[in-house]
Structure 1
Amino acid sequence: MSVKTDKIDRLSELSAVKQEEQGVSLWTEAFRRLRRSPSAIIGASILLIFVIVAIIGPWVAPYSPTDTIGIREGVVKSGQGIIPGASAEHWLGYDHQGRDLFSRMLVGARQTLLVGVISTLIGLTIGAIIGGIAGAAAGLGGRVGRWVDNVLMRFVDIMLALPSLLLAVSIAALLGASLTTVMIAVGLVSVPIFARLLRGAMLAQSGGDYVLAATSLGVTRRRIALTHIVPNSLAPVIVQATLTLATAIIEAAALSFLGLGNPDSSVPEWGVMLADAQSYLGIRPGLAIYPALGIIITALGFTLLGEAMREALDPKLRK
Structure 2
Amino acid sequence: MTLASGQKKEKLDRLGELAAVRDDEQGVSLWRDAFRRLRRNPAAIVGAIILALFVLVAIVGPFLVPYDPAAPIGVQDGVVRSGQGIIPGPSSDHWLGYDHQGRDEFSRLIAGSRQTLIVGVVSTLIGLTVGVLLGGLSGAAAGLGGRWGRWVDNILMRIVDMLLSVPGLLLAVSFAAILGPSPITVMIAVGAVSVPIFARLLRGSMIAQSNRDYVLAATSLGVRRWKIAISHVIPNSLAPVIVQATLTLATAIIEVAALSFLGLGTQVLGQPEWGLMLAEAQQYLGIRPALAIYPAVAIIITAFGFTLLGEAMREALDPKLRK
1:92-171 to 2 correspondences below 5 Å: 92-171=96-175
1:209-224 equivalent positions in 2, closer than 5 A: 209-224=213-228
Residue of structure 2 in register with 1:248 after alignment: 252
2:185 is the counterpart of 1:181: yes
**What's the % identity of the aligned pairs?**
74
Q: CA deviation at 1:142?
A: 2.5
Unaligned 5+ residue runs, structure 1? 1-9
Distance apart, 1:246 and its partner CA: 0.1
Q: Return structure 1 stretches of 4+ with deviation > 3 angstroms.
A: 12-18
**TM-score of the superposed pair, with normalisation by structure 1:** 0.94
CA–CA distance in 2 between the matches of 1:272 and 1:35?
A: 36
CA distance in 2, matches of 1:98, 1:266: 11
Match of 2:7 in 1: none
Corresponding letter in the other structure for 2:294: Y
Task: Answer yes or no: is the 8 Å Cα contact 1:265–1:272 preserved in 2.
Answer: no
Question: 1 CA distance for matches of 2:218 and 2:225?
Answer: 9
* TM-score normalised by L of structure 2: 0.93
What amino acid does structure 1 have at the position aligned with 2:59? I
Amino acid in structure 2 at the alignment position of 1:277: A
Equivalent residue, structure 2, for 1:4: none
Aligned partners of 1:243 and 1:303 also within 8 Å: yes
- 1:141 deviates by 3.1
Q: Which one has a bigger Cα radius of gyration?
A: 2
Q: Distance in 1 between matches of 2:42 and 2:19?
A: 32
Partner of 1:61: 65
The reply to whether residue 201 of structure 1 matches residue 198 of structure 2 is no
The CA RMSD measured in Å over matched residues stands at: 1.6
The CA distance in 1 between the partners of 2:322 and 2:262, in whole Å, is 40
Gaps of at least 5 residues in structure 2 are: 1-13
> How big is each residue's C-alpha offset from its partner over 1:256-290, in whole Å with a ceiling of 9 and x where there is no partner?
11111112241111111111111111111111100
8 Å CA contact 2:194–2:248 kept in 1: the answer is yes
Q: Which residue of 1 aligns with 2:10?
A: none
Does 71-80 or 236-245 show the bigger shift?
71-80
Cα distance in 2 between the residues matched to 1:214 and 1:25:
21
> How many residue pairs align between the two structures?
310
- Please give the alpha-carbon distance, in whole angstroms, between the structure 2 residues aligned to 1:278 and 1:72: 23
CA shift at 1:19, angstroms?
Answer: 2.5
Deviations 1:138-169 (A, max 9, x none): 12233321111000000000000001111111
